[in-house]
Every structure is written in C-alpha cells, then in structure tokens.
C-alpha cells in the first residue's frame, strides 16, 4: 500500500512553524503580513520540490498542479497556512503540508492519476479584520464590488490587500471556478474538539460542516455615576447584555447539537466608576441543522427585546452573516470512511463544529474531510497539539482517498 514519507512531513511541519511574527504569542502567522508572505515563499519551494507546477490565482490562492493522464477536472486537496493571533502549529498547516506529502508520494512511486492533482493553500481562511475564508470564497462565489472596496482602519482596502498578496481583485467579481470544474475536494484538518480523543482513535471521517449565523448587536442605555445612581434608576447596558448572554446560553442548551456564543463585547465608557452606557457585542450560533439555528435566533431576538424593555435600554440588531451548513455527499463520506479504516481500529464519523474552506468549495464540488485527533481538543492556542503518528495516519488516509476518488469518478 502506497504511503507518505513521515520524516519529511515532520521536517516540513517544524520548518513552517518557524515562520512567526515577532513579539507575538504562540504560532502567529496572520494573513497579509510579511511573515505570512515569507512562509509562502518557502511553501512554493516545497510544492516545486514535490514535482508540482506552482501558480497563484486571482485571489492569491497558492496552487501546485500535477498533470493527469486525461483532461478530467482536477482533484483538489489542501487547506490554509495562516493562523489566528497566538495560534498553534497544526491548524490548517497539516492539510497543506499533508497534501504536498501526498503529491510527493505519488511522484516517488511513479503513480500518475487520471485526474490532475491540485494542492492548494487558500488565502486567509482565519478571521481577520478584512474578513475570512478569502481564497475559498473567491474560488466558489466571488466577491461584491462593495466588499472589495471596503476600507478597514489599520488594514487598508480589501482589494488592495489581495493585490498585495499577488492576486487580481478585478477578476473576483465572479467565481474563479464553476460547478463541474473540480472533480472533488478533500481537506485534512485537526479536529479542534474532544470526540476522537475520547474515542481513543487517531483520525475520523467528517460528515459535514455546521452552519453559522453571526450577528452584531448594540444596547444603548445611560451612563451615570456609579456611586450616586441608585440601582432602581439605572439603565445599565452591560447588565442588559448579561441577561441576553444568559438567555443565549439557555437557548443553545435546549437544543442538543447546537452552540451559541457571545464572544466579543465593547463597553463604553468602560470605566470602573461609570454605569455602562453602551455595549456592542456579537452573537454566534452554530448547528449542522439550519432550522435549529433559525429557531434559536428567533428565541434570542425575543430575549434581546425583552431584556431591553425591562431595563429601559434601547436595542439595535444589526445585519447578520450566514454560512449555511454543508452535508458531505454520501459517496465521498464512504470513500473517506474506508480510507480511514485502513489506519485505525475504529472509524468515528463526526461533524465539524468549526468552519473550513471545505464549506465553500463544497458549494461547487463534491467535498469531504478527514480529522486528526487533537490533545484535549485544544486549538487556536499555543497548546494546540496533534501527535505525529496521528497526522501521518491522516495523511495516509488522504492519499488512499485521493486514489479511490481518482478510480471512481467518471469523466
């Protein structure tokens, strides 16, 4: 059975982990930074050394291509190499470097697929002030002119940032790829959760990616002196938000399989001796079943209005962003399950509670994912860790899935 070179993969992961922004915690390599650019220069060299022809598309996705024996659409594999502030060294990275390892194994074994193979490092998967899922969104959907013209203080204009990475924003008003132009998409990623560790298995087959709704809300009360304003006369914006947070938590607890989070708060005037006059905050909901998200949102909206009315605080619910859930095709899940079964005593199937580039590419191509066990389910932090043997099992399963997809899909 064809397998990858585990030592070369270990070396690649260790080398990319050295590209970190100065004076930042953990492994910080945010998109659009000089450190990210430097990492991509090295990554281009690694793709070329694996026998791939490397280009960048209009969204600055870095793509290495290996020709097939036919003119069939390519099988696309990869992930991202950008990180959050204070992130870890495995999130996204093992999907890109693992994909390069797959290409290298095919080359070294003299195996040429019927389909071309493309290895992709998507631009800016992680959240930035400019947005997230840049490369995969551009590939599957494109952007609006308004979005590309958005000017973010401290970061600049979105289109200029993409151009600075070598992209061409003038080509991004339409999708870079159409349905049928990718034969299939596979992504290897750390789980970022506790399921595989609890089951004591190294890798798992992902069933789908949750849908997400994010909303921005403003509660405006009245700032008063914290010593002279009695409790009975206060219009405390932060206390109102506390009521909303509790209601949000209860709404999610009542719906097994869903989660809801208030993760960002901006309090004004944010002083110890002043009753909070205004709070801007976020509410995020996730579920693999979209009707649950919608019903949970309705319940939270009702709680927002009730809390505001009870405390004499004005509430404003801003625009919200939706990312629909994605259920992977049954036949892709079967291929991934069988591939994983070659490298683990038990195959665990599980949904992804995090968003991924696969959620976008799955809109235009059959998609599937493989998860690798993470210690304590930790991610997006310096403590993020995946054992090398587990990563190797995941990459080998990725390789077997690529071979199975190439043998199955009709031209």
pLDDT at position 327 is: 93
How far is Cα 362 from Cα 42, in angstroms, rounded to an integer? 28
CATH of 6-210+325-408, one of 3.40.630.10, 3.40.190.10, 3.30.360.10, 3.10.180.10: 3.40.630.10
**Res. 324 pLDDT band, cuts 50 70 90:** confident
**Res. 323 pLDDT band, cuts 50 70 90:** confident
Note whether 37 and 165 are within 8 A (CB). yes
Q: What is the DSSP letter of 360?
A: H
349-381 pLDDT per residue, tens: 999 988 899 999 999 999 999 999 999 999 999
pLDDT at position 411 is: 44
Those residues whose C-beta lies under 8 Å from the C-beta of residue 323, and which sit 6 or more positions away, are: 211, 212, 213, 355, 359
Q: Which of 68-82, 148-162, 299-313 has the lowest mean pLDDT?
A: 148-162
123-163 pLDDT per residue, tens: 999 988 888 899 999 999 999 999 999 998 888 999 999 99
Does 256 have pLDDT greater than 80?
yes
Does 286 have pLDDT greater than 70?
yes
- What value, to the nearest 5°, has the Cα angle with vertex 189 and ends 201 and 23? 115
Note whether 302 and 248 are within 8 A (CB). no
Those residues whose C-beta lies under 8 Å from the C-beta of residue 330, and which sit 6 or more positions away, are: none
CATH of 212-323, one of 3.40.50.1000, 3.90.550.10, 3.30.70.360, 3.40.47.10: 3.30.70.360
> Taking residues 33-51, what's their average pLDDT?
98
Note whether 210 and 292 are within 8 A (CB). no
> Taking residues 262-285, what's their average pLDDT?
96
pLDDT at position 51 is: 97
Enumerate the domain spans of the chain. Answer: 6-210+325-408, 212-323
pLDDT at position 408 is: 87
**Res. 409 pLDDT band, cuts 50 70 90:** low
Dihedral (CA of 77, 83, 88, 89) sign: positive
**Res. 410 pLDDT band, cuts 50 70 90:** low
Tell which residue, 36, 200, 183, 189, has the closest CA to residue 123.
36
pLDDT at position 152 is: 87
How far is the first Cα of the chain from the last one, in angstroms, to the nearest whole number?
25
pLDDT at position 232 is: 95
Does 236 have pLDDT greater than 90?
yes
Does 56 have pLDDT greater than 60?
yes
Does 322 have pLDDT greater than 90?
no
Q: Model pTM greater than 0.85?
A: yes
64: left (phi over 0), alpha (psi -120 to 50) or beta: beta
pLDDT at position 314 is: 98
């Amino acid at each position: 059975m064809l397998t990858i070179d585990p030592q070369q993969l270990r070396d690649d992961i260790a080398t990319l982990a050295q590209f970190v922004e100065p004076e930042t915690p953990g492994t910080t390599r945010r998109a659009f930074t000089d450190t990210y650019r430097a990492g991509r220069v090295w990554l281009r060299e690694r793709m070329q050394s694996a026998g791939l022809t490397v280009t960048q598309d209009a969204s600055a996705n870095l793509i290495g291509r290996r020709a097939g024996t036919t003119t069939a659409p390519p099988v696309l594999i990869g992930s991202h190499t950008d990180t959050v502030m204070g992130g870890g060294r495995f999130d996204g990275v093992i999907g890109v470097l693992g994909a390069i390892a797959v290409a290298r194994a095919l080359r070294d074994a003299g195996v040429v697929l019927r389909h071309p193979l493309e290895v992709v490092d998507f631009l800016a998967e992680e959240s930035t002030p400019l947005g997230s899922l840049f490369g995969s969104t551009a590939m599957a959907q494109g952007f609006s002119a308004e979005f590309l013209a958005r000017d973010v203080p401290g970061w600049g204009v979105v289109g200029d940032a993409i151009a600075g990475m070598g992209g061409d924003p003038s080509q991004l008003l339409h999708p870079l790829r159409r349905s049928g132009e990718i034969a299939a998409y596979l992504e290897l990623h750390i789980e970022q959760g506790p399921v595989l560790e609890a089951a004591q298995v190294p890798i798992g087959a992902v069933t789908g990616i949750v849908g997400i709704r994010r909303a921005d809300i403003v509660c405006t009360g009245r700032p008063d002196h914290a010593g002279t304003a009695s409790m009975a006369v206060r219009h405390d914006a932060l206390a109102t938000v506390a009521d909303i947070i509790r209601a949000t938590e209860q709404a999610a607890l009542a719906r097994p399989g869903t989660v809801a989070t208030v993760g960002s708060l901006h309090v004004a005037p944010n002083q110890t001796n002043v009753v909070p006059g205004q709070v801007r905050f976020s509410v995020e909901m996730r579920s693999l079943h979209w009707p649950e998200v919608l019903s949970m949102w309705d319940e939270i909206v009702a709680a927002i209005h009730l809390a505001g009315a009870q405390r004499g605080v004005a509430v404003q619910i801003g625009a919200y962003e939706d990312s629909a859930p994605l259920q992977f095709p049954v036949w892709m899940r079967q291929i991934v399950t069988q591939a994983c079964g070659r490298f683990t005593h038990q195959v665990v199937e599980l949904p992804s509670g995090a968003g991924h580039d696969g959620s976008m590419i799955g809109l235009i191509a059959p998609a599937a994912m493989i998860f690798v066990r993470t210690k304590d389910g930790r991610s997006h932090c310096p403590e993020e860790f995946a054992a090398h043997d587990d990563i190797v099992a995941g990459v080998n399963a990725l390789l077997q899935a690529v071979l199975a997809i190439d043998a199955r899909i009709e031209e």
